[in-house]
Amino acid sequence: MIAAILADNPAAVLNESPGMVKIDCPSRLVIRRESVEAALGREFDLQEIHINLISLGGNIDEDDDEFVLYWQA
């Protein structure tokens, strides 16, 4: 999943810590169902991502195909 997120967001930066992964991205981060499914090799419901989220900040726009996190200046 991390590989799919980084591939879809070239400006994203991965920060790994014991027990968690933080992905920083300026202004907008998009998680695409299709990309995650390709990386995992199985169907993926974007609602599953909430199980793995520790926290996030910003505005969220989501549907069945994309989970978008963005920040307004």
10-43, pLDDT tens digit by residue? 999 999 999 899 999 999 999 999 999 999 999 9
Q: What residues are paired with 67 via a beta bridge?
A: 31, 62
pTM equals: 0.85
Cβ neighbours of residue 31 under 8 Å, at least 6 residues apart?
4, 5, 8, 46, 49, 66, 67, 68
Report which of residues 31 and 57 the model is more confident about.
31
CA separation for the pair 64, 16 (Å, rounded): 28
Residue with tokens 């027990």: 19
Predicted local distance difference test score (pLDDT) of residue 55: 83
Q: Is the dihedral of CA 10, 60, 24, 15 positive or negative?
A: negative
pLDDT interval class at 6 (50, 70, 90): very high
